[in-house]
Amino acid sequence: MAKPKKIFPVILPLLVLTAIGILVLSFFNWSKKESSSGCGCDLKQTTGDFDYAEKAAFFLNQPILPPLTATSATKEALVLGESSSDKRWIEIDLSEQKLIAWEGENKFLETLISGGKWGRTPTGEFNIWSKFKYTKMSGGKKENHTYYYLPNVPYTMYFYRDFGLHGTYWHNNFGQPMSHGCVNLPTLAAEKLFYWTTPVLPPGSNAITASKDNPGTKVVIHD
């Protein structure tokens, strides 16, 4: 009589591989779903003005000190029709976590950045479509320690949906991916870019949306 085949040793590896596949697929779908939300900014409620009522902030579930006063210095901004503005573009290298602002073949600014974790920062060619001197961002989940609530994020330049370049007051770990999808910049670098890029911000205004007559600076993001 033939001996019965041992099925269990064959099935067990298949079950393990199937379970691993489900976990990987679930993580990919979660990451993709999370990345679609960008910085977690309610653009309909954003005015660009500093909100003095905000006294608390959180990053990765931990309380941090938010900015309590707005910057008062007046910066020299671009002027509509300035000839050099069409030569200005921003390159972001996610593999090196670096940003270079170009004016023709000349570098205007180079800085380390913190892009999105798990490939959340979109790649491709974009244009800045809106700018806000201050805005509020929130998202993540408390149960997996990714919750953040960040009022008065300075010098935000949105290039795709609510994915943007902006100043950062909650960490100083530039050169490493840290964000939910946006491009974190040292605040001084973000300030320089904010007034160097288009669309041009009207005098006395803290917000602007790009238009045909006031288009946004090109942003190229690659791995």
Residues 215 and 199 sit within 8 Å (Cβ to Cβ)? yes
The fold of the 43-222 domain, in CATH, is L,D-transpeptidase catalytic domain-like (2.40.440)
| Alpha carbons 216 and 194: distance in angstroms, whole number | 11
Distance linking the first and last C-alpha atoms of the chain: 62
Return the pLDDT at 210. 98
* Residue 9: other Cβ atoms inside 10 A: 8
Residues 165 and 218 sit within 8 Å (Cβ to Cβ)? no
Q: In this predicted model, what pLDDT tens digit does every residue of 77-119 receive, in sequence order?
A: 776 656 577 899 999 999 999 999 999 999 999 999 999 998 9
Q: In this predicted model, what pLDDT tens digit does every residue of 148-184 receive, in sequence order?
A: 999 999 999 999 999 999 999 999 999 999 999 999 9
- Segment 22-31 long-range contacts (CB within 8 Å, at least 24 positions apart): 31/118, 31/119, 31/120
Domain boundaries, the chain: 43-222
Confidence check: pLDDT of 52 > 80:
yes
**E strand or H helix that includes residue 186:** strand 183-186
* Residue 100: other Cβ atoms inside 10 A: 16
